[in-house]
Structure 1
């Protein structure tokens, strides 16, 4: 991956709907070779897909909660099943297996504290094998950033 590829990625991270013409202009290529580079980045797995960023508050999801979870067991089977279960819970927008005192860090999007209580009772606490959890409500997001590309 060269500097032009990184610049293409930077343009796409800023706005994945940018036209090939505009991307080419930004990196000094015509649309055809620009498209070839993008296709190669997709095939190599560098570009995993295209998405749209949604405003959680505009959708009524006013609270973000970070939940630390510890499991009773750490067998491969337990971790795999826990991950599959989390994937099926729509309120869990991100789940990370982490090192340290807890096993997982979950990012949960809910309407309000009452909705979070419902999430705990009806979703999270229904999962077998959770030993302990701790919740932290996000007061304000100070930074959201794209991946650093080291241009």
Structure 2
């Protein structure tokens, strides 16, 4: 079965050999701080600013760089409780899947939605005010959704970002 059209899938990956050491160095700088000015990246990498700009543009066009994002602390917005909710669907019909992927990303508190393999169909990362809000989210938005058969909630105590080594960008 093909996935519904609403789901953002990773772009086809460039071949690793198409990413040279200069590109890797640029990616390391941007991963550390995506707001680093082009001139500073060029200086750090040892290339001309115009060359650096062209390489960054090419990395974006090839889908290596998918975007630049702010890392926002949900707790600073009053959303002090985060959870991962595993969701199993009732039936894997295209209509139910399309309804689920249309509705769920728009729900208040949803940070990310992951379509996964295994016993669960989706993982939802949510951020809410407190345990009462978490309970209300599950009851109001998931257990009553016609596509949902079962949910299992895991609280997130801490988020530890991975290293650049996980992407093959270590020094």
Identify whether the pair has TM-score above 0.5, normalized to the shorter chain. yes
Partner of 2:126: 108
SS of 1:84's partner is helix
- Aligned pairs, number: 150
SS of 2:111's partner is strand
On the 8 A contact 2:97/2:147 being kept in 1, the answer is: no
Output one character per residue of 1:75-131: Cα deviation in whole Å (capped at 9) or x when no partner: 233223211212212311111122222111111111100111221233223421211
SS of 2:153's partner is strand
Once structures 1 and 2 are overlaid, which stretch shifts more, 74-83 or 15-24?
74-83
Task: Note the aligned Cα RMSD (angstroms).
Answer: 1.6
RCO higher in structure (CA 8 A, sep ≥6): 1
Gaps (5+ residues) in structure 1?
Answer: none
Gaps (5+ residues) in structure 2?
Answer: 1-18
Q: Distance in 1 between matches of 2:93 and 2:27?
A: 38
On the 8 A contact 2:84/2:156 being kept in 1, the answer is: yes
Once structures 1 and 2 are overlaid, which stretch shifts more, 77-86 or 105-114?
77-86
Is 1:24 matched with 2:39?
Answer: no
* TM-score normalised per structure 2: 0.80
* TM-score normalised per structure 1: 0.90
